[in-house]
Structure 1
Amino acid sequence: MEIQGKIKMIGTTQSFGSSGFRKREIVITTDEQYPQHIMVEFVQDKTDLLNSYQVGQPVKISINLRGREWVNPQGETKYFNSIQGWRIEAAQAEASGGMPPMPPADAFEPAGNLNEDEHDDLPF
């Protein structure tokens, strides 16, 4: 799966436990009618992927959804979800409808003035 948006926040790398588990969070704001602020976590060696990105930059992140089950001391089962990123790249501006972008107006040669005596060969 992929999500696209602008970077709202990039967290610092956090280390947990004696095993050296590392995690870094990033928040992406989607560009849609009702923008969403989605937190994605990068773990272990993937935390370094965020080093070359800045707040405000449009990106595309490849993600996996993760789910965990946990039974608390009272015996209640709880479920937790996380969004884990594994690739990030700068988003490219896409032209609408798959068409190439229109060149600026000054790139075209102006049409010459046609006299009534000059006719073209078009049948209409």
Structure 2
Amino acid sequence: MEVQGKVKMIGQTQTFGNNGFRKREIVVTTEEQYPQHIMVEFVQDKVDLLNSFQVGQPVKISINLRGREWVNPQGETKYFNSIQGWRIESEQSQGQAPAGMPPVPPADAFEPVNDFKEEDHDDLPF
């Protein structure tokens, strides 16, 4: 699965417990009729993937959905979901050409070409 949008926020790396579990969160705002602010967490060695990204940058994040079950001290079962990123790529904004490529002109910049002359329509060989 993937999430696409612009980076709204990149959090600091957090470390938990004696084992040194690391987590870092990023919020991506989708670009659709009703934009969503999606929080994605990167864990352990994946936290460093966020180092080269900035707020406002368009990105595509490959994600996994994770679900956990937890029984509280009162014996009630609770369920938690998380969105975990494992790859992040910079996305080109619409209208921009990839690095090293010339920009593509808009479709209406081209004029139709008519290579047929009016008198050529009856020159069929049969």
In the superposition, the TM-score normalised over structure 1's length comes to: 0.79
Unaligned runs of 5+ residues in structure 1 are: 109-119
Q: What CA RMSD, in Å, does the superposition of the two structures yield over aligned residues?
A: 2.6
SS at match of 1:50: helix
CA deviations over 1:24-81 (Å, ceiling 9, x no partner): 0000000000000000000000000000000000000000000000011111110000
CA deviations over 1:3-24 (Å, ceiling 9, x no partner): 1000000000000001000000
Q: Residue 15 in 1 paired to residue 18 in 2?
A: no
SS at match of 1:45: helix
CA deviations over 1:88-122 (Å, ceiling 9, x no partner): 00012457xxxx932699x98xxxxxxxxxxx961
The 8 Å contact of residues 9 and 55 in structure 2, kept in 1 or not, is answered as yes
* Distance change in 2, residues 1:121/1:47 (3 Å): closer
Matched pairs, number: 109
Unaligned runs of 5+ residues in structure 2 are: 96-102, 122-126
Alignment counterpart, residue 122 of structure 1, candidates 92, 111, 117? 117
Identity of aligned residues (%): 79
The 8 Å contact of residues 2 and 60 in structure 2, kept in 1 or not, is answered as yes
4+ runs deviating over 6 angstroms: none
In the superposition, the TM-score normalised over structure 2's length comes to: 0.78
